A and B are shown apart, each in its own frame.
Chain A
Amino acid sequence: MTLVDPLEAWRIAAEPYYRATGDECAMFEAAYAGRLPVLLKGPTGCGKTRFIEHMAWRLGRPLVTVACNEDTSAGDLVGRWLLEGGETRWQDGPLTLAARHGALCYLDEVGEARADTTVVIHPLTDTRRMLPLERRNELVRAHPDFALVVSYNPGGGNGLLKASTRQRFCGLEFDYPDAEDEAQILMHESGIGIELASALVGLGRRSRRLAGHGLDEGASTRMLVRAAALVRAGASPIAACRMALVAPLTDDAALRDALVAAVDASF
């Protein structure tokens, strides 16, 4: 008889690159040791998802990721009945899969999900550590290795988390890395030189000055990495920044003109 690992697809083979900016790795390990649920807070594209991938690799646990949106229903998380050849078959959802077999379950942008959806995680986040599947009439006790991690962007996005949900989590706050760290990340991720990396980082930091002055958020580290990748693929820095930064950041004509002029001034 062969044992099939139900989490095989979710295991992380190679170390995901992550540059720590503080004690977040140690704190996460401490939280995982107590199996405490963790809330990752921070602006979009600052490295929350990369961090959790890195930590899952470090802890040797598979990582089940769910990107939440406003249509994410409770059934999408816990599972549903399917019809197969005239028979019904239960299929575990990602949350049930992780709880049953012992993975890290990461609900990305949990604030986007509907309030009735987020309530299903409540019994998993306190000392009960269990997941009632009412449709299947089953009570899943969480595997000892299971832990729940959610991310949430307080600056943008739609929803705010209800207090009853937030208070079940420990929180780790993320922000854009320091200039030096950010340049190192750009160089590592896209293989560009230090001069271009610092110019891109400078531009990214400049764009964050407009947060609250017309922009919801400035350029994220992820956007800068994209711009660097475009340059690496042969684009000129100015064209790359227009494509990777200016176009996604704003539709307002005046702000676009200002951003384009700032890009022109930077290279």
Chain B
Amino acid sequence: MTPLFSEATTESDARQLAALRLPLGAWLRLLWNVTPPLLHRRAAELGEGAPFLTESGVHLPPAPFACGDAAAASQWYSAAAAHAAAHIVFSRRVFAREGTAPITQALLGLLEDARVEALACRELPGLRRLWAPLHTVRPEDGDDFETLMLRLARALVDPAYDDPHPWVRKGRARFYLDSRGEVMAQARPAALRELASALGHDLGQMRMAFNPRTYRPGPSYRDDNRWLWHAESDAASSDRSKPSPAAARVAESMSSPMPPESMQWRYPEWDRLPARLRPDWCTVREQWPTPAARGPVAPGATDVPEDRAMQRRLTLAMRKAAAGGRPSFRREREGDEIVLDEAVRAMLSARSGNAANERIYRRLLRAPERIALMLLIDSSASSARPHGLGGRSTQFQMQQRVGTLIAHAAADAGWSLAIQAFDSDGRHGVNHWRVKDFNAPWGSDSAARLAALCSTRSTRIGAALRHAAHMLTNQPATRRHVLLLGDCEPHDVDIHDPRYLIEDARHAVQTARLVGVRCAGLLLDAQGTVAARRIFGGRTAALPAMSMLPHALGRLLAD
């Protein structure tokens, strides 16, 4: 048996839950159009064990109960999430704890569980195959209070289960009108309450021992029903749901799905006063950002309708920028026009008994440009300032949003795109955070890596541009672009001359141009425009408003 509390188990289980979060979230939206946050319960609460539901979301334990393999664990998580979501959709929270005997509370919870599951199964019959197998209690397991409750729970959800106990039979007979368990008798919550109190009374007659402190509803996938009650204890429970620092550390230590490899490159730097290159002056290190275990990150982070419209406009702008390719007339067997010279030649060779060339038509084709684009996102500390006047989001959040939009648009427009964020800490500490590689698709994992970035340290633009240009020259493409997204104001801890890094970046842009890589700077506000113009020349754009993005991008990435 694996030790429950060992660090390794917790971490690998946490990773499993993190991997399930996105499919589970999308699944609940598919089923009932609800999107409760799926939260990761901290290990300290493992002893208590059950999933639970609060205003802040569905809290799932990091390790599922008694699940041997990964398939069973994902089954268990699905069952728990679907049950909790069924509460959100069908439960009305009309019960008050005051004046309700603890045993009635327990029974009411059990009946409400069965009611929401029955309603869910009426709409989605396949859910019964998910829940019923998790009810494994049998009549031989005994007839103490807890087992009887489990037996009743099973009798209410599993039509194939036949329980001989008269109390279980009575519960089932009064819950459903028909023997197949398709028509519920207790439509109203008040009627459910009457049934609960009647069943509780019977249990009292049977002198069953009931301990409200240790009782929790079963089977394990069901939440503890604290959500059902008008709770004076809501404050307490919401307090408990806050992740502890320890849990946050566990989340941070979760490794990314990629190996944590880190690769280094050395680049020269331009020193403006002696006007010469210092060879091998900067060290660039590529790393994978570690996705944090916060909420699910959908690859389509473009939830907002205006973002979808924006994305289409961006795709169009990028298509247009790529369509500048030279038109070529190709000879074809079929086409728009007959090429007279070819036709005459074909007839001549046919009449002189030779094989005729049949390609006598021509068709206008624009050879499509294959464009490789490296999107460099400035993740230095200066990007943490607020965006715009009184803006609620930071520069960096806007950069992430623009990055997501460009990623989607590039995929639609058929561009080969890589995304890296960069920051620096002295000339040997230039970090490139790989969000998306050229040959990788944009998906949930790259979106998670983009979301995991944070703004910190300094901006050494020259080294970043040299590295981007170097990576681009290895890409098969007919055109190569670097787009820098940020405030374009270079700055680093070991440089005090304000013009030094600007001139170095300018030099990097010019040397990149020599090997066919075009660099452009996109600023999200007007700050830093002067430096950006010095670095990128005409390929600079400052966005006064998001709506200008497609136009600006089209201009920056034009041939």
| Interface hub of B125, B312, B335 (most chain A Cβ within 10 A) | B312
Q: A73-B336, A209-B33, A213-B300 are in contact. Are A257 and B126 (CB under 8 A)?
A: no
Could you give 13 example pairs across A and B, Cβ below 8 Å? A74-B336, A80-B361, A81-B337, A82-B338, A160-B313, A210-B26, A212-B305, A213-B26, A257-B23, A258-B24, A259-B26, A265-B126, A265-B130
Cβ of B303 and Cβ of A212 under 8 Å apart?
A: yes
B298 touches A214 (CB 8 A): yes
Residues of B contacting A238 in the complex (Cβ-Cβ under 8 angstroms)? 126
With A209-B29, A213-B298 known to touch, is A261 a contact of B23 (CB < 8 Å)?
A: yes
User: Cα distance A251–B442 when bound, in Å?
Assistant: 11
Rounded to whole angstroms, the CA-CA distance of A174 and B107 in the bound complex is: 50
With a cutoff of 8 Å between Cβ atoms, the chain A residues found around residue B360 in the complex are 83
Q: Binary interface profile of B, 412-450, with partner A (CB < 8 Å = 1, else 0)?
A: 100000000000000000000000000001011000000
A254 to B305 CA separation, bound complex (whole angstroms): 22
| B347 contacts A by Cβ under 8 Å | yes
Q: For B30, B335, B364, which residue has the most chain A Cβ atoms within 10 angstroms?
A: B30
Q: Mark B496-515, 1 if CB is under 8 A from A, else 0.
A: 00000000000000000000
Asked if B364 contacts A73 (CB within 8 A), the reply is: yes
Q: Tell me if B41 is interfacial: C-beta within 8 Å of chain A.
A: no
Residue-wise interface mask of A (4-28) relative to B, using a CB-CB cutoff of 8 A (1 in contact, 0 not): 0000000000000000000000000
Query: Do A262 and B302 touch (CB < 8 A)?
Result: no
Q: Which of B299, B315, B338 contacts A214 (CB 8 A)?
A: B299
Using CB atoms, name the residue of chain A closest to B308: A212
Would you give the shortest CB distance from A238 to chain B, in whole angstroms?
8
When distances are taken between beta carbons in the complex, the residues of chain B under 8 Å from A264 are 126, 129-130
Q: Provided the pairs A214-B299, A215-B300 are in contact, do residues A258 and B27 lie with their beta carbons within 8 angstroms?
A: yes
Report the bound CA distance from A262 to B28 in whole Å.
8
- Asked if B539 lies at the interface with its beta carbon under 8 angstroms from chain A, I say no
A231 to B26 alpha-carbon distance, docked (Å): 26
Chain B proximity of A255: nearest CB distance (Å): 6
| A-chain residues with CB within 8 Å of residue B82 when the two chains form the complex | 265
User: Taking A212-B308, A214-B299 as contacts, is the C-beta distance between A254 and B30 under 8 angstroms?
Assistant: no
Beta-carbon contacts under 8 Å, A211-267 to B: 212-215, 238, 251-255, 257-259, 261-267
Min CB distance, A116 to chain B, in Å?
A: 9
Asked if residues B337 and A265 are in contact (CB atoms below 8 Å), the reply is no
Would A265 and B364 be within 8 Å (CB), given that A213-B303, A252-B299 are in contact? no
How many positions in chain A have a CB within 8 Å of any CB in the partner chain?
Answer: 39
At the interface, yes or no: A58 with Cβ under 8 Å from chain B? Answer: no
* Contact between chains at A75 and B298 (CB < 8 Å): no
Cβ–Cβ contact A258 & B23, under 8 A:
yes
From residue 354 to 404 of chain B, which have CB atoms closer than 8 A to chain A? 360-361, 363-364
Rounded to whole Å, the gap between the CB of B448 and the closest CB of chain A is 11
Complex Cα distance, B124 from A86, in Å, reads 68
Query: By the criterion CB–CB under 8 Å, are B316 and A160 in contact?
Result: yes
Interface residue A158 (Cβ < 8 Å from any Cβ of B): yes
User: Across the interface, which residues of A come within 8 angstroms of B24, CB to CB?
Assistant: 258
| Mask: chain B, 25-62; 1 = CB below 8 Å from A; 0 = not | 11101110100000000000000000000000000000
Counting CB contacts under 8 A, is B22 at the interface? Answer: yes
Chain B residues with CB under 8 A of A188:
none
Check A209–B30 contact: CB distance below 8 A.
yes
Q: Which of A117-137 contact B (CB under 8 A)?
A: 135
Q: How far is the CB of B174 from chain A (nearest CB, A)?
A: 28
0 or 1 for each of B130-170: is its CB under 8 Å from A? (1 = yes): 10000000000000000000000000000000000000000
CB distance from A256 to the nearest CB of B (A): 8
